[in-house]
Amino acid sequence: MPDDAVTMEKIVSLCKRRGFVFQSSEIYGGLASTYDYGHYGVLLKSNVKAEWWRSVVQERDDTVALDAAILMHPRTWEASGHLEGFTDPLVQCLGKCKRRWREDHLREDTPEGELKCPECGGDLSEPRNFNLMFETHMGPVQDEGSQVFLRPETAQGIFVNFKNVMQFARKRPPFGIAQVGKAFRNEITPGNFVFRTREFEQMEIEFFVPPDDAVEWHGRWMEDRMRWYTDLGMRSDHLQLRKHGEDELSHYSSATSDIEYLFPMGWSELEGIANRGDFDLTQHAKFSREKLEYVDPGSGERFVPHVIEPSAGADRGTLAFMVDAYDEEEIEGRERVVLRFHPRLAPVKVAVLPLMNKEGQPEKAREVYTDLRKRMPAEFDTGGSIGKRYRRQDEIGTPWGVTVDHQTMEDDTVTLRDRDSLDQSRIAIADLGEELERRLAAPWTSPKTG
């Protein structure tokens, strides 16, 4: 089990207190397991997504970006197998509480024998396959012909665009298409805050390769994706790669490994990396009657590329980065809660605080802030004692604090405070922007490591 003092309750309460994430539709009593992201939550999740784009597109020359529509032609879901097979086995308590459960989850704790309701001990119904796709209608008439689905994954938007993209991007396998977007699943048992919700964001890559190279590329992507998390400061002893057993594999996959994080509730999936073979392109070719293959212009050789799919959750990732960053410590008899984010993930990079609300300090601090915010997300705060203002910044994970004080008014220097070491150094205002940019670009290791 996780070794730290961090619990999901603490994360939920910090998220609410500081406006990262809160219950959706709260004034109406909330809508079960849907959440809204407030200011700092939006900035944090945007940074997670931006780092993903940076790593999978900007810093490579074999992937391109795509943003496909959420609503897709209904045949898509026949071809992909979702209409038929995207189901979870649902059982309902026949006893007192009538709660619904996923049978496969209950089996994890009771591999053999009869299952009972974990809540009240009642008998359970026979399992029934429950399709997780949300259904809606397009146009004014609600009949079978107008039925469409909210996509349960972003991946299919990539497969149906394979041909388009390959032509426009002038790519040949091995190459990949990357996409970030919302997906919807009518989960039977959502829970653990934003870990499992019915509306969430995915960050997916479909990487198309010559069939003979699929195993090698699967290995490379597992390494690359693990490194992404650790490069962003996630502790490596809280990350693991778990290979799916034969009985766990989806119908299309010849091998899948999950990147798992040690959440407060135990090891849980962050990202799945699957070798999907030629299943998707073959299916869509069959249903659309389009040829979805690669033809070498020189040799005329043709093949249906195999697909490696690294599929990550933006909300789950954001939650994991929060859990990993959460820390409590006592400083001079006072407890402080601090989010030790990698500076590139931190919602705000620098806070500029006047020590006192007089002697021109607030005006000077505002000048420094106005200058800095052109370079990076910055905040200016005059409300409350300096200690209180720093505690607020610590709780949102701001890596650096700049204090404008009496001496600033004499020599144009400020104090620069480091969130983790609490070191304070004196620096000329003229050098501040460059110094912070240098720190932002430097490699970083979590002080919680070890």
Residue 45 contacts ligand ATP per CB under 6 A: no
Tokens describing residue 253? 């996959």
Residue 91 contacts ligand ATP per CB under 6 A: no
Residue 400's contacts (CB-CB under 8 Å, 6 or more residues apart) are 343, 349, 350, 351, 416, 417, 418, 419, 436, 439
- CA separation (Å) from 347 to 343, 373, 395? 9, 13, 11
Residue 235 contacts ligand ATP per CB under 6 A: no
Residue 282's contacts (CB-CB under 8 Å, 6 or more residues apart) are 292, 304
Closest distance between ligand ATP and the C-beta of residue 199, in Å?
8
Q: Which is nearer to ligand ATP, 187 or 224 (CB)?
A: 187
Residue 272 contacts ligand ATP per CB under 6 A: yes
Helix H or strand E encompassing 142: none
Q: Name the residue with tokens 């704790």.
A: 109
Closest distance between ligand ATP and the C-beta of residue 315, in Å?
5
Closest distance between ligand ATP and the C-beta of residue 276, in Å?
11
Q: Is the separation of the CB atoms in 397 and 346 below 8 Å?
A: yes
Residue 271 contacts ligand ATP per CB under 6 A: yes
Q: Is 391 helix (H, G, I), strand (E, B) or coil?
A: helix
Measured CA to CA, the distance from residue 134 to residue 34 in angstroms comes to 15
Closest distance between ligand ATP and the C-beta of residue 239, in Å?
13
Residue 237's contacts (CB-CB under 8 Å, 6 or more residues apart) are 262
Contact with ligand ATP (CB under 6 A) among 197, 257, 393, 403: 197
Contact with ligand ATP (CB under 6 A) among 171, 196, 306, 417: 196
Residue 200 contacts ligand ATP per CB under 6 A: yes
Closest distance between ligand ATP and the C-beta of residue 190, in Å?
6
Closest distance between ligand ATP and the C-beta of residue 67, in Å?
17
Contact with ligand ATP (CB under 6 A) among 151, 185, 344, 419: 185
Identity of residue 340: R
Residue 419 contacts ligand ATP per CB under 6 A: no
Measured CA to CA, the distance from residue 1 to residue 69 in angstroms comes to 40
Contact with ligand ATP (CB under 6 A) among 4, 224, 269, 359: 269
Residue 367 contacts ligand ATP per CB under 6 A: no
Q: Name the residue with tokens 């990698």.
A: 342
Q: Which is nearer to ligand ATP, 207 or 390 (CB)?
A: 207
Measured CA to CA, the distance from residue 66 to residue 53 in angstroms comes to 11
- Interacting span for ligand ATP (CB under 6 A) from 235-243, 306-314, 361-369, 424-432: 306-314
- Interacting span for ligand ATP (CB under 6 A) from 111-119, 311-319, 356-364, 376-384: 311-319
Residue 420 contacts ligand ATP per CB under 6 A: no
Find the length of the chain. Answer: 450
Residue 311 contacts ligand ATP per CB under 6 A: yes
Q: Name the residue with tokens 């400061």.
A: 233
Closest distance between ligand ATP and the C-beta of residue 187, in Å?
5
- Interacting span for ligand ATP (CB under 6 A) from 42-50, 54-62, 263-271, 421-429: 263-271
Count of residues binding ligand ATP (CB under 6 A)? Answer: 16
DSSP-assigned states of every residue in 166-196: HHHTT--SSEEEEEEEEEE---SS-BTGGGB
Residue 379 contacts ligand ATP per CB under 6 A: no
Closest distance between ligand ATP and the C-beta of residue 87, in Å?
11
Buried b (16+ CB within 10 A) or exposed e, 400-430: bbbbbbeebeeeebbbbbebeeeeeeeeebe
Contact with ligand ATP (CB under 6 A) among 202, 275, 408, 446: 202
Q: Name the residue with tokens 């300096």.
A: 386
- Interacting span for ligand ATP (CB under 6 A) from 121-129, 196-204, 206-214, 391-399: 196-204
DSSP-assigned states of every residue in 215-247: HHHHHHHHHHHHHHHHHTT--GGGEEEEEPPGG
Cβ-closest position to ligand ATP:
313
Helix H or strand E encompassing 27: none
Measured CA to CA, the distance from residue 42 to residue 375 in angstroms comes to 19
Q: Which is nearer to ligand ATP, 116 or 198 (CB)?
A: 198
Residue 276 contacts ligand ATP per CB under 6 A: no
Per CB under 6 A, contacts with ligand ATP among 314-343 are 315-316
115-154 mask for ligand ATP (x: CB under 6 A)? --------------------------------------x-
Neighbours of 75 (CB within 10 A): 13
Contacts with ligand ATP, residue ranges (CB under 6 A): 153, 185, 187, 196-197, 200, 202, 269-272, 311-313, 315-316
